[in-house]
Structure 1
């Protein structure tokens, strides 16, 4: 974010400033990468723990989810149906609009004649 401002200040100071700015940016990038790595490691650890716990709960969860999943699937189907209808409506509208445009052009040509 502040990288741009720093670089400009560096350029005003001359080459040394610019170099300093570049170094700082490199440091920032490295830090970000490390943060990412740490996060990934943590998440992986969590997943492993989750799996251990998950096996215990899996039987219970599956039974619970069977009911929920049915409801979820229904909801999804509804959503997709609505989306499909909406898209179909828009397509038709665009087709009509396109037709109107063409008709307009034709009328223009006829007027020219």
Structure 2
């Protein structure tokens, strides 16, 4: 009889240990927020690529027209590329800031100090 009771108690503890549900993640990022962030970054990269291609095409067209304007065209293209890179990096930073701002409200507020 003692063995049967010991077996039942042991099985009770064993099943209780394995019946635990896994802890929920602390603050999961919503899928929509992640998708919006990815979309914003992709859009910024696409704009940058388009601006760079446009600047390269402009440079190529000017080089074909006259060699005298090559230096000026290269300078203009360099400025256009720099502007495109700057705009793209600003858009990426803005997208990251938006993502961070959405993640911050999900954190619990700290308790006031006594």
Same fold (TM over 0.5): no
Q: Under a length normalisation based on structure 2, what TM-score does the superposition of the two structures give? A: 0.38
The structure carrying a bigger helix percent of its residues is 1
Q: Under a length normalisation based on structure 1, what TM-score does the superposition of the two structures give? A: 0.39
